[in-house]
Amino acid sequence: MLFLDGIYIDSTHGSGTRFRRVRAPTSDELTQLTHTIARGIARYLERQGLLERDVESAWLTSSAGGEEDEATIHPLLGSSITYRIAVGPQQGRKVFTLQTLPDCRPDFRRLQTGETAGFSLHAGVAAQAHERDKLERLCRYISRPALSNQRLSLTRNGQIRYQLKTPYSDGTTHVLFEPLDFMYRMYGMPRAQGFAGAAIAPNELLTQALVAQLRVVLTAIRKFDEEIALRAQRHADFALFATLPGAGPVLAPRLLVAFGDQRDRYACAADLQKYAGIAPVTQRSGNQCSVHWRWRCPKYLRQTFVEWSAKSIHHSFWAQAYYQQKRAQGKSHQAAVRALAFKWIRILFRCWQDRCPYDESVYLRALQRRGSPLFKYLAQST
């Protein structure tokens, strides 16, 4: 909340009103005010049936509320306030936090902060009349959302990690949640602020609709995969591509479709390299020559060759050496993979035309027989 740090008073001489600044509140005054606010909130929660108290202590109750939604939200709010896990096998335990050594330097901001019974009141920021930028930042800070997406991340074991903007006094820097527990906390947060109908209900319906659509799409994709695998295995040329290094059940059918069964479609391997967009375009005019990316081509066909060539690096001895050779020459990863795809198409085109499965040992002997620089590089690398 924003408050004026003074009052307007009427001038006794009839010259209008003037602003009279008051001194900043002391820490004792803020503590007393915080105590008054905390006592009023506690009484309100007690009247609403959300708080139970005895002579020594008070605690949140989850039995209040007659409506189903309210009975569900109250335990979530209680767990959030007390830093307890709301759902799951660890329900009721303290949330896991990451801590570092607390700062030993004196915090002068606490001189203008009142704290009592878990409540705190901060009055350490003031903006002068001419400091419009500072006032705007303060307003943005007050109206900020409850969570910052930039400080949310996912750990390797699937937990939600939230980084605190300012470490706690005990050195806590991060809080870890299980995904289900985090979703329940997010579910209860807007309702606690009174925005249930406006924020949660429409998104619940949207999520349900999207989940239903995704289930239909995933079922259709699974049926397509099964039918593709069945039809590919029945094809006479499938054996030529099923044994290729790194092809597997996904890329082998795609490579089969890329070549097809009409062997007179391409006069040579260069025709397929150009059609697939793997071969670059060379333009010459007088003494000028430029080589650039081929724009007009079937994008998915080019992607098929590029993806499979990248996979073959981990399954083919010479492909890995060829890729490393190109990277040593200063080529980028994508350029090296495209160069490897260019080379692979020539090899597969010959196997496809001769209806002969690829054999790596045969190709290595061919490289040795021709005295290929690649074979010399292979000999040096081993």
**Cβ atoms 196, 190 nearer than 8 A:** yes
Residue 48 per-residue DSSP state: T
Q: CA neighbours within 13 Å on the CB side: how many for 140?
A: 7
Q: What is the pLDDT of residue 66?
A: 44
**What confidence tier does 245 reach under pLDDT thresholds 50, 70, 90?**
very high
Task: Kindly state the average pLDDT of the residues 118-133.
Answer: 77
Q: CA neighbours within 13 Å on the CB side: how many for 179?
A: 7
Q: Convert the pLDDT of each residue in 266-289 to its tens digit.
A: 999 999 999 999 988 888 888 888
**What confidence tier does 257 reach under pLDDT thresholds 50, 70, 90?**
very high
Cβ neighbors of 19 (< 8 A, separation 6 or more) are: 4, 6, 7, 8
E-assigned strand segments in 253-361 = 281-285, 288-292
**What confidence tier does 340 reach under pLDDT thresholds 50, 70, 90?**
very high
Q: What is the pLDDT of residue 69?
A: 47
Both tokens of residue 85? 């896990």
Query: Is the alpha carbon torsion for 204, 206, 207, 213 positive or negative?
Result: positive
Closest CA relative to residue 258, chosen from 348, 195, 127 = 348
Q: What is the pLDDT of residue 57?
A: 52
Beta-bridge partner residues of 52: 59
Task: Kindly state the average pLDDT of the residues 65-74.
Answer: 48
